[in-house]
Amino acid sequence: MKVTSEKNEKIANMIFASVYPHYVNRLVKNGRTKEELHQVIEWLTSFDEDTLQALIEEKVTFKTFYQKAKIHPNAHLIKGVICGYRIEDIADEFELYRQCRYLDKLVDELAKGRKMEKILRKG
């Protein structure tokens, strides 16, 4: 599937705190923990526990969430299909959309039982 400006804008304006509980629920249902989710989020964004909690409480949009993030230098190693989109084929102009799909892919891998050392890509 192709990312459109409309899709990118829709994601940009979504509130991170509205999606976060879905990540937690999916992982807990699959035998993973909230702590593991936070480890993955911290790896991708550099947000520690307190910063993440503050962003959730502030009800920031995904646009603000990723503007404040320091995306891990190995994030480009996250590849594959998530939600019908091949991550590595998402155009640079839709970087925000790609970053959102990075997190979706990491959560998906965690839910499917992949080992943490594989999820947290090494160079």
97-107 tens-digit pLDDT: 999 999 999 99
For residues 52-75, average pLDDT: 98
Look at residue 23 and tell me whether its pLDDT is greater than 80: yes
For residues 32-60, average pLDDT: 98
Q: What is the pLDDT at residue 122?
A: 83
The rounded distance, in Å, linking the Cα atoms of 108 and 30 is 10
Q: Which residue's structure tokens are 């995306």? A: 71
For residues 67-73, average pLDDT: 98
CA pseudo-torsion sign 63, 122, 31, 104: positive
Long-range contacts, stretch 90-96, CB < 8 angstroms, 24+ apart: 90/3, 91/3, 94/3, 94/7, 94/8, 96/8, 96/11, 96/12, 96/62, 96/63, 96/66
For residues 18-39, average pLDDT: 97
Q: What is the pLDDT at residue 123?
A: 66
Closest among 118, 96, 95 to 108, alpha carbons compared: 118
What integer best gives the mean pLDDT of the chain?
A: 96
For residues 44-49, average pLDDT: 98
Domains and CATH numbers, the chain: 5-114 (1.10.8.290)
Q: For residue 100, list its beta bridge partners.
A: none
Q: What is the pLDDT at residue 96?
A: 96
pLDDT grade for 1, boundaries at 50, 70 and 90: confident
Distances (CA, A) of 58 to 16, 38, 55, 79, 89: 10, 17, 5, 31, 32
